[in-house]
Structure 1
Amino acid sequence: MSVSGVALPDARVLRYLGVRVLQVIPTILAIVVLNFFFLRLAPGDLAEVIAGEAGSASPEYMAILRQQFGLDQSIWVQFTKYLTELAQLNLGYSFRNSLPVLDLIVSRAPNTALLMLSSLLIAVVLGVLFGAISAQWRGKWPDGVISALSTVGFATPLFWVGLMLIVLFSVELRWLPAGGMQDLEHSYTGFAHMLDVARHMVLPVFSLAFFYIAIYTRLTRSAMLEVQELDFVRTARAKGLNPLPVTLRHVLRNALLPIVTMTGLQLGALLSGSVVIETVFAWPGMGRLAFDAVFQRDINLLLGVLFFSSFLVIVSNLVTDLVYALLDPRIDIR
């Protein structure tokens, strides 16, 4: 269906999307409630941190700080205020940074998105490539080498990979910077600034992608081996078709369906992995922001980061469902 040459979404797709959105609302509410009350169970608060840094933890000074931050009110009053502000798309105020939480998240989110999407793209491309090679050469030396390397990728912690890359490429070879997002000694602009950011991205991006390359390699290999045994692939080979087109058009195309599902589900894992990588490489993203908020007991900021991250994961899963349904016509989205 189209209006003035512009295609409109199918009614089934809109109905399916509406049902999925309604299913998401209780999930978001549960996340909001659990995040708020679980964080309140953690010992210490912002008033104690600030008083400790000021060297004055008298009862009077603590009472003033708690009143200033609204910590002197009951937890139910704080929760009601939090829900009221959240309903108005207000994530609160970070007293530690003297800025609204939303402004802090908006300033850091593009940096995390740049890191995550670059890592995900590299992981998917290399993982699918290695997995296809491994499946095509099953039982031979390329399969053995790739399987061994993917096992190493599964077993290696992200922070260790990051530290080893820093030691090799920053300390020993001095090829790449060890941390940060840009060179603070030079005020690069234009294309020079892009190159500077790209140089700072290399180590954190490959550190974060290392583990997920192993995942996509194993997943692609197993999916392709399964598809190779199906009747339509055997029929294509029996007709004497060229093995390469059969592999690309029939085997790999059908094997990509679980890859699409895994890509959507990996966003949450990438967010958690970015906390480690951003800390190791001093990358100014949301992961580093959440890490600092934990140590500073900045509950408002931590709540905002958790809510924003959870919302992104939910949206990515919803988009993955729609893409999967469009790629596989066997799925009924009524």
Structure 2
Amino acid sequence: MKVFNIASIPGDGIGKEVVPAAKHVLEVLAEIHGGLRFEFTDFPWDCHYYLENGSMMPEDGLETLKPYDAIFLGAVGNKKLVPDHISLWGLLIKIRREFEQVINLRPAKMFHGVKSPLANPKDFDLIVVRENSEGEYSSIGGRIYQGEDEIAIQNGVFSRKGTERAIRFAFELAKKRNRHVTSATKSNGIYHSMPFWDEVFEDVAKDYPNVKTESQHIDALAAFFVTRPEQFDVIVGSNLFGDILTDIGAAIMGSVGIAPAANINVNGKYPSMFEPVHGSAPDIVGQGIANPIGQIWTAKMMLDHFGEEELGEVLLDVVESVLKDGFLTPDVGGQSTTKEVTDEVIARLQAKQ
């Protein structure tokens, strides 16, 4: 029997509601499958932990997480308690950077039953590969002077290794899908980094003659996500561009509450981390109406990462059927609770035995 040891970090806000829901789904799925088991260890690292201890995780937190097969994260942030730049850099980004989770994956697709804000979404099904370790989100820079003379400098860092790694990952993923990769660029406005990005994209593309390619400037590409998302398959972008596009992807699905994400370590040294796109949603905490689908779809991505792709497809098929039949939380126009949606997913999984 395969046993997967998972570090569970529910985090802040609705993370504490949707992580237990998704864990329950995974445990039921494992029981049905019979050939695997999930062992979860919960870690209480959140903004309340910061207030009590002065840090978002213990000094040896990363060493504690290192032996696990994966990290299952709920949400990070409560700006009423801790500034966002402290909570994010102290937990989420710290794990991403120091565990070399250099690829961020975020799919978006149309779910029948969930009303998209698009007039005619045309069954789009795409995935964004976001470079996750450098680019515009480097910490290199600083501030000097004060008053009207104050200057803030933020340096983008684009290495050939990091850029090629993300682009090649996108091409390999496209080979399993519809063999189409779109590069997000802005080489007509960003003088050094984006022409460099374009050159690396063209070099890597030569190794994949059977994959169709195109390059789109980020401003036009953002518009095309709204006007014709069905024409995209795999999109690869820098840290910032990927971040922007994936929020648009969540929006055109109908709610950030259903959007999943994965932070992938590609060298096997450290665990990968799986987290939904939604934030901690403090406005609905404790009401029992948080959408569990983002966390459950994130669990599907974790199954894929473990090589359990068939089981992941079973789970996603059930999620699609639940949504299609109207089991919807308020964020997507329904009246179901977190528990009701989760229970329906579990019931339908059990019915497949």
TM-score, normalised with respect to structure 2: 0.25
Structure number with the higher helix fraction is 1
Structure number with the higher strand fraction is 2
TM-score, normalised with respect to structure 1: 0.26
Give the number of the structure whose alpha-carbon radius of gyration is greater: 1
Q: Which structure is richer in relative contact order (CA contacts within 8 A, separation 6 or more)?
A: 1
